[in-house]
Structure 1
Amino acid sequence: MLVLLQKRESRFLHHVGVNYFFVPWISFLLLLQSAPFFTPKSVSSLILWWVFAVPVLALDVKIYGQWFTKGKRFLSTVANPTSQLSVIGNLVGAQAAANMGWKESAVCMFSLGMVHYLVLFDVFVTLYLRLSGSDRLPVMLRPVFFLCIAALSVASLAWESIAGAFDTASKMLFFLSLSLFLFTSLTNTFQEIERSFNVAWWAYSFPLTVLALASTEYAQQVKGTIAHLLMLVLSALSVLIALCLTLFTLLNMH
């Protein structure tokens, strides 16, 4: 037990590992919105939202507090693509709050997540340019660069929940995420990814899934042939990637 606690403490202090503490709470918030008992403004939903959102905010305080107190040099040292998980956590929390009718809380968490994203995007160019020589992110974790796509796609869906419609802002965020998807797919960003399968490859699945969800909302709003074709292509790609990753995982189980 003591060894397990020491490992968790070291991961909590690690500049990459700490971001993965957001993952369970992101999953819980997504499951909360898809649960059959989820009804807006119900007592159980509100309690569960607080239970799942408070750890996200606590982790925000920990990460942002270090950034503010230790300065820009510390930020440029520890910022990495897995930092997008904290952005996604805030945006998923904002979406859940908006679906429950808590628009002010939703706007607050949405703003917090987007400010964090802008800070990380400012560092992203530096990260990308020094990718080949950087030792801040292991080669096996390079697929997490796809999380940049996920953050904007979730932001598009979260703003739709806040605004009540897939308006111009949601469309802009969707097209930004689509542009990043094309950029990462057509450039050599992943040229040095480790070819042997590892669990980090699952970082491809979630971004493509939320991008497909955003394209579905866009197609329902626009009702055009091209929009529906885009939705079908992204949805099929998302399902295909998920099936391939499942197959690779089963084949590489020890």
Structure 2
Amino acid sequence: MAAPLAPAATEAPAVPVPRFDYLPVALFGSVMGLTGLSVAWRLAAARYGLPALVADAIGWGAVLTFLALALAYGAKAVTAWPAVTAEFRHPIAGNLFGTVLISLLLLPFVLHDLSPALAAAAWIVGTGGMALFAVLIVSRWMGSRQQLAHATPAWMVPVVGLLDIPLAAPALSLPHTQTLAMAALSIGLFFAGPLFTLVFARLVFEEPLPPAQRPTLMILVAPFAVGFSSYTATFGRIDAFAEALFLVGLFMFVVLLGRLRDLPRCCPFRVSWWAVSFPLAAMAVAALRYAEHVRAVPADILALALLALATAGIAALATRTLVGIARGELRRLAG
């Protein structure tokens, strides 16, 4: 009599090979920087007659960068979900998920010429996501004891990032957005004060930031530079309060630029350096809008100087990043 057949071995389910598990979500800050620079060049083209083609090229570069990062980070979410959840739960890196949503709030500046409906959809998704993200992060902060050492400039992103909501709203001409813009402006400015104080105290009384986090210092300019642009977009004017926001932002910009001038010599390049791109662009945009308001030669010189600095800085970041990708160094640069 034939022996009974042995039961077939059960095959273990295939485990997907992790893809882009090293990719930090903070790299979406590059989209913010590129989009902001595109807006700055568009303003400069309108005031000084500079080529509008430059603004278009930078803007479409931002769109392509967003699509590439969305695909890459989507692959990370599918194949290395634990890495995504660990990054989200991190007390510092988790705040930078707001860069994805802020990118959606800024891209309508570029997308509007292609499709107003697509631009509006991106803005609506970004607005809803940013509001929910802000509520989630503030609830996290209040729900458990936080460590002062974790209070880095990245903490500005989840709530102060609400200031980006009003920026593109006037161009989209969507109904019933004035109250929403006012709420975003109010909440963003309200939380900017205590968060700035908290981060400033951490920088003064605790150990210096690790080299990889030092570029994030420039984020401290954003509440004032973006706050200025957000205020003018919401109310359609530049008054004494808006001017004060711009001047405080300019002061902080000078201070932080001095702090970061030795960064290329003391710290090797990492993709975290992209954290300086959006504050650079936001300061250039604010200066160009301020120059249009005061119509004085010194303001024009300042605006053009900041535009040149932002352009050179972001071009250097883009070149070094692309060279690193071509050399297969992205994993090391993301570390």
* TM bracket (short chain): 0.7 to 0.9
Q: Which moved more, 1:236-245 or 1:29-38?
A: 29-38
Query: Hey, which of these two has a bigger chunk of helix by percent?
Result: 1
* Alignment match, 2:271: 199
Instruction: Measure how far apart 1:69 and its partner are.
Output: 2.9
* Alignment match, 1:103: 178
Change (3 A) 1:150 1:125: closer
Residues in 2 aligned to 1:15 and 1:193: alpha-carbon distance in whole angstroms: 29
Deviations 1:168-187 (A, max 9, x none): 22221111111001111235
Rg larger in structure: 2
Helix, strand or coil for the counterpart of 1:74?
coil
Q: Which amino acid aligns with 2:83?
A: K
Q: Which amino acid aligns with 1:204?
A: V
Instruction: Measure how far apart 1:89 and its partner are.
Output: 2.5
Aligned pairs for 1:1-254 (under 5 A) are 4-37=80-113, 46-70=120-144, 73-74=145-146, 76-99=148-171, 100=173, 102-131=177-206, 133=207, 138-187=210-259, 194-253=266-325, 254=328
Change (3 A) 1:246 1:38: closer
Residues in 1 aligned to 2:265 and 2:86: alpha-carbon distance in whole angstroms: 26
Contact 1:140/1:193 (<8 A) preserved: no
Percent identity, aligned pairs only, is 25
Deviations 1:8-36 (A, max 9, x none): 11111101121121111111111113323
Instruction: Measure how far apart 1:103 and its partner are.
Output: 1.4
Residues in 2 aligned to 1:224 and 1:14: alpha-carbon distance in whole angstroms: 47
Residues in 1 aligned to 2:147 and 2:195: alpha-carbon distance in whole angstroms: 9
- How big is the alpha-carbon RMSD for the aligned residues of Structure 1 and Structure 2? 2.6
Instruction: Measure how far apart 1:189 and its partner are.
Output: 9.3
Instruction: Measure how far apart 1:188 and its partner are.
Output: 7.5
**So what's the TM-score if we normalise by structure 2?**
0.67
Instruction: Measure how far apart 1:128 and its partner are.
Output: 1.2
Q: Which amino acid aligns with 1:240?
A: A
Residues in 1 aligned to 2:264 and 2:197: alpha-carbon distance in whole angstroms: 23
Residues in 1 aligned to 2:147 and 2:163: alpha-carbon distance in whole angstroms: 21
Larger RCO (CA within 8 A; separation ≥ 6): 2
Contact 2:162/2:188 (<8 A) preserved: yes
**So what's the TM-score if we normalise by structure 1?**
0.86
Q: Which moved more, 1:207-216 or 1:83-92?
A: 83-92
Contact 1:139/1:192 (<8 A) preserved: no
Q: Which runs of 5+ in 2 are unaligned?
A: 1-15, 17-77, 329-335
Instruction: Measure how far apart 1:77 and its partner are.
Output: 4.8
Residues in 2 aligned to 1:85 and 1:250: alpha-carbon distance in whole angstroms: 26
* Alignment match, 2:4: none
Contact 2:160/2:192 (<8 A) preserved: no
Q: Which moved more, 1:105-114 or 1:73-82?
A: 73-82
Residues in 2 aligned to 1:188 and 1:27: alpha-carbon distance in whole angstroms: 24
Aligned residues: 247
Helix, strand or coil for the counterpart of 2:165?
helix
Q: Which moved more, 1:167-176 or 1:73-82?
A: 73-82
Q: Which runs of 5+ in 1 are unaligned?
A: none
Instruction: Measure how far apart 1:246 and its partner are.
Output: 2.1
Change (3 A) 1:225 1:116: same
